[in-house]
Structure 1
């Protein structure tokens, strides 16, 4: 309900507050069109209302007491004049605030809203706080196409092509998120993502795909050195990676709740593509996990590969890999173990659909047939066991692997 009154100190004092639970009541000034008073159960607030771009918009001036009727009326005249020009003061303030959003703020919001893996968060954080540190507290709107090109070229020259590509991919993702999150079709934050200049000019650097993996002649010495590691957790972790093809974080963060020894399988819930993975366990890993389970009964850790670190599970196996490399002369990365698993599987002529499911790769969107194939854990058990036998056979150089 709206009443029309002359808004003065006397008339405002005479208006009672609304009873608890009642809706606000509005009073319009009889002299200045658009000027009004909103009365609730605990306050009396000066407002202005006017149609802007076909919609009635309301702007709050302030509370009676903090504002006098005369001061509020003068402010109302100013606001109504701005609204007559098509500007809503609250929208204008919000736009000014949005245009001041910094790269660091956008990154913080991005991490909160999006479901990202710890590895992705670390990559983005490294890009923002190390390679783009001088941009971190500047408004996103100050990052131009020219600046992106200059920084990209300098990174490529000083840090290498792979780093330059990675940093700019991170920046592109954060800026694109900010455009959608903070802007609107009527008032976009940016007309275009400035990182797109690298695509428009075909400036992205070609980085040869890494091809590292354990060759057949390397498997025996490498596995032998791994099994002699003093740290049994890292020993078993490296072997687990080799025999499953899992990504480092998927295996490292594995909990005993995800292990089903009676059914010889594990369930990976947090994966890179967010698709859960039920993976059968070959006999070699079943025996490995039984040994670990016996050792784990002496601790309270929920993790299969527990550690005293902050996260409670193994984080950096590079020291162990370096020790193995020093002993054998065979240097590999964690991801090389995944490549080894895939390479051996491919050599066994395992079906493409089974292999993609084992390593949790999504099939091509255009592959209609793949959409009808459901590879359950039992369908994957035989190819998984074949891969394990091939790894052990190559490691021993015979059909009677010595590794147990």
Structure 2
């Protein structure tokens, strides 16, 4: 116990009256009601409550707070809590250090999440040069700077002011909020002004995301795959005429189907077959959740590109196929990616194409294949278009929307035709959930 200390039952009056003698550096007044509680006074008039106890043979002292901020009752209660910690073998100082560390980490995390693309873009320009190169190519560096320029400057040629670069709108966004959805909205907006310029800006911004992912302090904030989301890639300008007309020929269906069935990833295999049997857009199927499937009435609701949603019949085979998938998450086609669902099936599709000996077929080509195979199966163009989610005015038939029951025979007709070409014999049985496929 420190010099100049004594023990009494502390009261509000004694706390107020207690003072440190002018010839001493400090004085202590111990409480008899809470023996581990002390009141410390200094010549300046400052009075502080503190706790003192012994832990593992050593004396430890923990500051509680000033008498101006803490009432006597609260100080006693806090001293009792600290004593309980020590009695259980816990060092209160270590607990406080841990809390401080957690608070600092939380504050740092919050600050990191507030970092915007604009905060990091100058660092990327300064340090993001490609590997194995001493510096950016001058032309590419100029393009990077132009893409992110704020605009509003007088044009060097002609009259008027320059418009902001395509990347400029992204600079104000927090890095942690850059994802597939924000990039899709941004790219679609920029593509209205110039689709090729928007595509080039996307490629450049993907380089920025890769650089961020390579920095230890930013990698947890960035989704480096956001710029490669199918919803965005499918809207990029096509390269070559074949990308707009590719589709499976009837004679290729069996080989394609066999290649897909041999994929090591059963989720990717089911996903690709679902695309062919529904004619849906790749992102519509990838975003499919279990809650969107009605196995009882055999129908499925898709997030439509044209409208909010559309509901189509679920063929008996497709109900069996989807029902056989494990329910690992809310998504039907689940994966371990950040989004929790299948995002880029192209590598799996390429493996299947190689196995089948098919030189070229895009994922979107499966959508065209559904339309062509549906016509070969004898389904009306309007029914095919409605299942695929085309606007009525976009088809030659100018169809009137059919009910689910009216569409169902045509969906089964198309599915049967595809399975026949694939060499698959499907045998549904009476009891729901026990459908089976006989190869």
Per the normalisation by structure 2, the TM-score is 0.46
Which has more radius of gyration?
2
Per the normalisation by structure 1, the TM-score is 0.49
